[in-house]
Chain A
Amino acid sequence: MKLVALITVFMTGALLIYGVEDMPGWGDPNSPASSHVSPRYIQEAMEKTATPNMVSAVLADYRSYDTLGETAVIFTAGIACILMLRKKRKGEGE
Protein backbone atom coordinates (compact mmCIF):
# COMPACT_ATOMS: atom_id res chain seq x y z
CA MET A 1 0.00 0.00 0.00
CA LYS A 2 2.77 2.38 1.03
CA LEU A 3 4.65 1.48 -2.10
CA VAL A 4 1.66 2.19 -4.26
CA ALA A 5 1.23 5.49 -2.50
CA LEU A 6 4.87 6.37 -3.00
CA ILE A 7 4.77 5.49 -6.65
CA THR A 8 1.63 7.55 -7.14
CA VAL A 9 3.13 10.49 -5.30
CA PHE A 10 6.35 10.41 -7.26
CA MET A 11 4.53 10.05 -10.52
CA THR A 12 2.39 13.04 -9.71
CA GLY A 13 5.42 15.01 -8.62
CA ALA A 14 7.31 14.08 -11.74
CA LEU A 15 4.38 15.13 -13.87
CA LEU A 16 4.18 18.50 -12.13
CA ILE A 17 7.89 19.09 -12.51
CA TYR A 18 7.72 18.04 -16.13
CA GLY A 19 5.21 20.82 -16.63
CA VAL A 20 7.34 23.38 -14.81
CA GLU A 21 9.92 23.28 -17.57
CA ASP A 22 7.76 25.30 -19.94
CA MET A 23 6.54 27.73 -17.32
CA PRO A 24 7.56 31.34 -17.24
CA GLY A 25 10.15 32.20 -14.63
CA TRP A 26 9.05 33.34 -11.22
CA GLY A 27 8.11 36.96 -11.07
CA ASP A 28 8.29 37.51 -14.79
CA PRO A 29 6.06 40.55 -15.37
CA ASN A 30 5.45 39.52 -18.97
CA SER A 31 4.14 36.07 -18.20
CA PRO A 32 0.73 35.33 -19.66
CA ALA A 33 -0.79 35.23 -16.20
CA SER A 34 0.24 38.81 -15.62
CA SER A 35 -0.40 40.14 -19.06
CA HIS A 36 -3.64 38.70 -20.42
CA VAL A 37 -6.53 39.33 -18.08
CA SER A 38 -5.11 40.89 -14.97
CA PRO A 39 -3.84 44.26 -16.32
CA ARG A 40 -7.38 45.32 -16.92
CA TYR A 41 -8.23 44.71 -13.28
CA ILE A 42 -5.31 46.83 -12.18
CA GLN A 43 -6.10 49.66 -14.54
CA GLU A 44 -9.85 49.73 -14.33
CA ALA A 45 -10.66 48.67 -10.82
CA MET A 46 -10.53 52.15 -9.36
CA GLU A 47 -12.44 53.72 -12.16
CA LYS A 48 -15.15 51.07 -12.46
CA THR A 49 -15.61 50.02 -8.88
CA ALA A 50 -14.21 52.88 -6.86
CA THR A 51 -12.19 50.50 -4.77
CA PRO A 52 -8.46 51.09 -4.30
CA ASN A 53 -7.96 47.48 -3.26
CA MET A 54 -7.96 45.52 -6.48
CA VAL A 55 -8.32 42.22 -4.73
CA SER A 56 -11.52 43.44 -3.13
CA ALA A 57 -12.68 44.82 -6.43
CA VAL A 58 -12.20 41.56 -8.20
CA LEU A 59 -13.50 39.52 -5.30
CA ALA A 60 -16.63 41.48 -4.71
CA ASP A 61 -17.35 42.76 -8.17
CA TYR A 62 -15.69 41.22 -11.20
CA ARG A 63 -15.81 37.75 -9.80
CA SER A 64 -18.47 38.28 -7.19
CA TYR A 65 -20.24 35.18 -8.39
CA ASP A 66 -17.33 33.10 -7.18
CA THR A 67 -17.67 34.78 -3.85
CA LEU A 68 -21.33 33.96 -3.77
CA GLY A 69 -20.32 30.37 -4.35
CA GLU A 70 -17.73 30.69 -1.64
CA THR A 71 -20.28 31.81 0.92
CA ALA A 72 -22.50 29.00 -0.24
CA VAL A 73 -19.61 26.61 0.44
CA ILE A 74 -19.33 27.87 4.00
CA PHE A 75 -23.07 27.63 4.43
CA THR A 76 -22.94 24.10 3.07
CA ALA A 77 -20.19 23.16 5.48
CA GLY A 78 -22.11 24.62 8.41
CA ILE A 79 -25.31 22.83 7.56
CA ALA A 80 -23.31 19.69 6.84
CA CYS A 81 -21.89 19.73 10.34
CA ILE A 82 -25.32 20.32 11.81
CA LEU A 83 -26.71 17.45 9.80
CA MET A 84 -23.99 15.06 10.78
CA LEU A 85 -23.45 15.92 14.42
CA ARG A 86 -26.70 17.19 15.81
CA LYS A 87 -28.62 14.00 16.33
CA LYS A 88 -26.06 12.19 18.37
CA ARG A 89 -26.14 14.72 21.19
CA LYS A 90 -29.86 14.43 21.42
CA GLY A 91 -29.62 10.69 21.23
CA GLU A 92 -27.24 10.60 24.13
CA GLY A 93 -29.51 12.83 26.14
CA GLU A 94 -32.44 10.54 25.78
Chain B
Amino acid sequence: MLDYVISKYNFWIYVILMMIGLYAMIGKRNLIKKLIGMNIFQSAVILFYVSISVKAGATVPILSGHSYGHGELIEVAKYLNPLPHVLMLTAIVVSIATTGVALATLILIYRRYNTLEEDEILKIRRDTGV
Protein backbone atom coordinates (compact mmCIF):
# COMPACT_ATOMS: atom_id res chain seq x y z
CA MET B 1 0.00 0.00 0.00
CA LEU B 2 2.71 2.41 0.99
CA ASP B 3 4.63 1.44 -2.10
CA TYR B 4 1.61 2.20 -4.15
CA VAL B 5 1.25 5.63 -2.61
CA ILE B 6 4.90 6.44 -3.02
CA SER B 7 5.20 5.15 -6.53
CA LYS B 8 2.56 7.63 -7.67
CA TYR B 9 3.21 10.52 -5.34
CA ASN B 10 3.48 12.94 -8.24
CA PHE B 11 -0.20 12.36 -8.91
CA TRP B 12 -1.24 12.93 -5.30
CA ILE B 13 0.57 16.23 -5.22
CA TYR B 14 -0.96 17.52 -8.38
CA VAL B 15 -4.42 16.37 -7.38
CA ILE B 16 -4.12 18.25 -4.08
CA LEU B 17 -2.85 21.36 -5.82
CA MET B 18 -5.63 21.16 -8.31
CA MET B 19 -8.22 20.84 -5.60
CA ILE B 20 -6.86 23.91 -3.84
CA GLY B 21 -6.95 25.86 -7.06
CA LEU B 22 -10.40 24.70 -8.01
CA TYR B 23 -11.76 25.50 -4.57
CA ALA B 24 -10.37 29.01 -4.77
CA MET B 25 -11.92 29.48 -8.18
CA ILE B 26 -15.37 28.36 -7.14
CA GLY B 27 -15.56 29.07 -3.44
CA LYS B 28 -13.74 32.35 -2.92
CA ARG B 29 -15.61 35.61 -3.17
CA ASN B 30 -12.68 37.83 -3.93
CA LEU B 31 -11.95 38.05 -7.62
CA ILE B 32 -8.20 38.25 -7.19
CA LYS B 33 -8.29 35.10 -5.07
CA LYS B 34 -10.24 33.43 -7.82
CA LEU B 35 -7.54 34.46 -10.22
CA ILE B 36 -4.83 33.09 -7.96
CA GLY B 37 -6.78 29.87 -7.69
CA MET B 38 -6.87 29.74 -11.44
CA ASN B 39 -3.11 30.00 -11.57
CA ILE B 40 -2.68 27.27 -9.00
CA PHE B 41 -5.01 25.08 -11.00
CA GLN B 42 -3.09 25.69 -14.19
CA SER B 43 0.22 25.04 -12.46
CA ALA B 44 -1.13 21.77 -11.13
CA VAL B 45 -2.01 20.68 -14.63
CA ILE B 46 1.43 21.70 -15.86
CA LEU B 47 3.11 19.74 -13.09
CA PHE B 48 1.02 16.75 -13.93
CA TYR B 49 2.13 16.86 -17.55
CA VAL B 50 5.76 17.38 -16.76
CA SER B 51 5.70 14.47 -14.38
CA ILE B 52 4.45 12.27 -17.18
CA SER B 53 7.64 12.80 -19.06
CA VAL B 54 9.85 11.46 -16.32
CA LYS B 55 11.66 8.19 -16.87
CA ALA B 56 13.69 6.65 -14.12
CA GLY B 57 17.36 7.17 -14.79
CA ALA B 58 16.95 9.40 -17.80
CA THR B 59 18.30 12.86 -18.36
CA VAL B 60 17.02 16.03 -20.03
CA PRO B 61 16.16 15.51 -23.69
CA ILE B 62 19.17 17.30 -25.10
CA LEU B 63 21.80 15.29 -26.92
CA SER B 64 25.15 15.69 -25.31
CA GLY B 65 28.32 16.25 -27.34
CA HIS B 66 29.48 12.66 -27.89
CA SER B 67 26.23 11.45 -29.37
CA TYR B 68 26.41 13.96 -32.24
CA GLY B 69 27.74 11.28 -34.53
CA HIS B 70 25.65 10.20 -37.48
CA GLY B 71 23.97 6.86 -37.68
CA GLU B 72 24.68 6.17 -34.05
CA LEU B 73 21.64 4.71 -32.37
CA ILE B 74 20.29 6.98 -29.69
CA GLU B 75 19.13 5.11 -26.65
CA VAL B 76 15.57 6.08 -25.91
CA ALA B 77 15.64 5.22 -22.25
CA LYS B 78 18.44 7.71 -21.63
CA TYR B 79 16.38 10.79 -22.38
CA LEU B 80 13.19 12.13 -20.91
CA ASN B 81 10.06 12.24 -22.99
CA PRO B 82 10.23 15.63 -24.73
CA LEU B 83 6.61 15.86 -25.78
CA PRO B 84 4.99 16.86 -22.46
CA HIS B 85 7.57 19.60 -22.12
CA VAL B 86 6.59 20.96 -25.48
CA LEU B 87 2.93 20.80 -24.64
CA MET B 88 3.53 22.54 -21.37
CA LEU B 89 5.52 25.32 -22.97
CA THR B 90 2.38 26.03 -24.91
CA ALA B 91 0.19 25.59 -21.86
CA ILE B 92 2.33 27.98 -19.83
CA VAL B 93 2.00 30.60 -22.49
CA VAL B 94 -1.73 30.03 -22.58
CA SER B 95 -1.99 30.35 -18.83
CA ILE B 96 -0.01 33.58 -18.85
CA ALA B 97 -2.22 34.93 -21.59
CA THR B 98 -5.34 33.95 -19.69
CA THR B 99 -4.04 35.57 -16.55
CA GLY B 100 -3.28 38.71 -18.49
CA VAL B 101 -6.74 38.91 -19.98
CA ALA B 102 -8.30 38.12 -16.60
CA LEU B 103 -6.29 40.89 -14.97
CA ALA B 104 -7.36 43.31 -17.66
CA THR B 105 -10.98 42.41 -16.94
CA LEU B 106 -10.34 42.91 -13.27
CA ILE B 107 -9.00 46.38 -14.00
CA LEU B 108 -12.19 47.15 -15.88
CA ILE B 109 -14.24 45.85 -12.99
CA TYR B 110 -12.25 47.81 -10.45
CA ARG B 111 -12.61 51.00 -12.42
CA ARG B 112 -16.32 50.56 -12.54
CA TYR B 113 -17.11 49.36 -9.03
CA ASN B 114 -14.05 50.33 -7.02
CA THR B 115 -13.92 46.93 -5.43
CA LEU B 116 -13.03 43.37 -6.28
CA GLU B 117 -15.27 41.69 -3.72
CA GLU B 118 -17.95 39.78 -5.55
CA ASP B 119 -20.59 40.42 -2.89
CA GLU B 120 -20.00 44.15 -2.99
CA ILE B 121 -20.16 44.23 -6.75
CA LEU B 122 -23.42 42.33 -6.69
CA LYS B 123 -24.75 44.75 -4.11
CA ILE B 124 -23.76 47.77 -6.18
CA ARG B 125 -25.33 46.25 -9.24
CA ARG B 126 -28.49 45.50 -7.37
CA ASP B 127 -28.64 49.01 -5.96
CA THR B 128 -28.17 50.61 -9.34
CA GLY B 129 -30.82 48.33 -10.74
CA VAL B 130 -28.70 46.78 -13.46
Question: Which parts of A6-52 form the interface with B (CB within 8 Å)?
Answer: 6, 8-10, 12-13, 16-17, 20, 23, 25-29, 31, 33-34, 37-39, 41-43, 45-47, 52
The 8 Å CB contact of A55, one of B8, B19, B58, B61, is B61
User: With the chains together, A73 CA to B89 CA distance in Å?
Assistant: 12
Q: Among residues 55 to 94 in chain A, which have CB atoms less than 8 Å away from a CB atom of chain B?
A: 55, 57-59, 63, 66-67, 69-70, 73-74, 76-78, 80-81, 84-85, 88
Q: Which of B76-120 contact A (CB under 8 A)?
A: 76-77, 79, 81-87, 89-90, 93-94, 96-98, 100-101, 104-105, 107-108, 111
B107 to chain A, nearest CB (A): 6
Tell me, rounded to whole Å, the shortest Cβ–Cβ distance linking B29 to chain A: 8
Say what secondary structure dominates the interface of chain B: helix
**How many residues of chain A get a CB closer than 8 Å to chain B's CBs?**
53
Chain B residues contacting A12 (CB-CB under 8 Å) are 18-19, 22
Which residues on the B side are within 8 Å of A20 (C-beta)?
A: 8, 11-12, 15
State the total of A-B contacts with C-beta under 8 angstroms: 152
Residues of B within 8 Å of A74, CB to CB, are 93, 96-97
Dominant secondary structure of chain A at its interface with chain B: helix
B2 in the interface (beta carbon within 8 A) = no
Contacts of A77 in B (CB 8 A): 96-98, 100-101
Is B55 an interface position by the 8 A CB rule?
yes
Whether the Cβ atoms of B19 and A9 lie closer than 8 Å is yes
